[in-house]
Amino acid sequence: MKRFAAIVAGLALAVSVTPAHADTGVQQVLDQYLAQAGPGAAVHTNSGTYSTGTGKIHEQRRITAADHFRIGSQTKTFTASVVLQLVDEGRVELDAPINRYLPGVVNGNYDGAVITVRQLLQHTSGLVRDVRDAQPNPDGTYPLAELVRSAMDEPAQNAPGAAQNYSNVGFLVLGLLIERLTGTPAGDAITARIIRPLGLTETSFPAPGNRALRTPFLNGYLGGRLGPVFFWTEATTSVELSAWSTAGAMESTLDDIGRFYRALAAGQVVSPSSLAEMRRTYGPSEGYGYGLALVRMPLSCGVVAWGHNGALTTGHYSFTLTTDDGRFAAVVTNTNWQGSGKPSAVDVADKAICSAAPQR
């Protein structure tokens, strides 16, 4: 992550935009969430898009469902979906060791003959959380294989299967798995297998070296807030995205990301048996849980939602949840910093979903 180039101070613009015929309670919770969020925040729901604050500092710019932003770890659900498609095709077994498909890749402080594909997907492999010392190409981009290689001398977080500890490195290994079995770059496989078939025209996997977001885009900021005063520096294009690859590099919009999770829940992405595997959470079956790149989130109205969150040092944080009856909420704010107070992004999504009528 690049250091702050400058510190920008200003006054937050408390601009609220509520869609016609929408629930004002959703807007109220979103407005309150702004104290924990960036200069602006928005939630896209079945009833429309609610926005508060601003998408760009020193302007009154509403965040829309068409604004592009970095979805961070929501990329993991796309990566996992391709792996589960390969399971459906009989090319991968979830409980097979990763060495069967990538011999010698998981080595050093880790045993690829023990760590399984499932454990990589559910963050129980024990692989280190983040890449620390990968060597970039001369142009500053990072090969996926180098990212993985550089992490193999890091200490394990846990023995394989013994605990659940989040690992971006695990999803980089899964990117290599996709490349080995499809014969194409992982981003191309995600595009061909998910983005194009679902018609997600505003979603993309960036080419190495391409840091730009398509227009319109949501400016991203790093910094903090003290009451009505914020201190932000723009970070929209500050990250070399190949360093995150299949763990967190993708771009989307609130509209597209909501359609992706609804399609996944509706059985349009993987088979029913593979979706059930994605939803089989580690540990207790009741309450919050993490499966194969899907979060289980019980809501205040008694329904269960599924989805994922994502944060990146481009200054974007997002969380998308959907239910089996067709309700959804896609939340975004233009900073990756999240306060510890209430309401949270989850509270915003909860209010939006529970205020909507079942859709099917």
Check if the beta carbon of residue 194 is closer than 8 Å to that of residue 78.
yes
**What residues have CB less than 8 Å from 115, skipping those under 6 apart?**
97, 98, 106, 125, 126, 127, 160
Per annotation, catalytic residue among 73, 204, 238, 355: 73
Q: State yes or no: is 73 an active-site residue.
A: yes
Q: Which residues are catalytic?
A: 73
